[in-house]
Amino acid sequence: MPARLRECEITPDDGVTNEAELVHFIFLVDVEPVNVIEALKDPKWTSAMEEELESIEKNGT
């Protein structure tokens, strides 16, 4: 679990009272990293960063 989520309140399914809350909890499952350390641990993010750097180098920007 990412460090930023360790202090989050865990709510059991019966504690979710409406659809909006359910959608909120679903989005918490797949969160973006908050720093480069977390991003480097995820192969998807390292691949995305490599692609972005290649694009920047190719475009000379």
User: How confident is the model at residue 35, as a pLDDT?
Assistant: 83
2 within 8 A of 33, measured Cβ to Cβ: yes
1, 53, 55, 46 alpha-carbon torsion, rounded to 10°: -30
Based on the structure, what is the number of domains in the chain? Answer: 1
Q: What is the pLDDT along the chain (61 residues), one digit of tens a residue?
A: 667 667 776 666 666 567 777 777 777 666 778 788 888 999 999 999 999 999 999 999 8
**Euclidean distance between CA atoms 34 and 49, whole angstroms:** 14
Determine if the pTM surpasses 0.75. no
Print the domain residue range for 38. 3-59
Task: Report residue 8 as tokens.
Answer: 């989050």
Contact 44, 8 (CB under 8 A): no
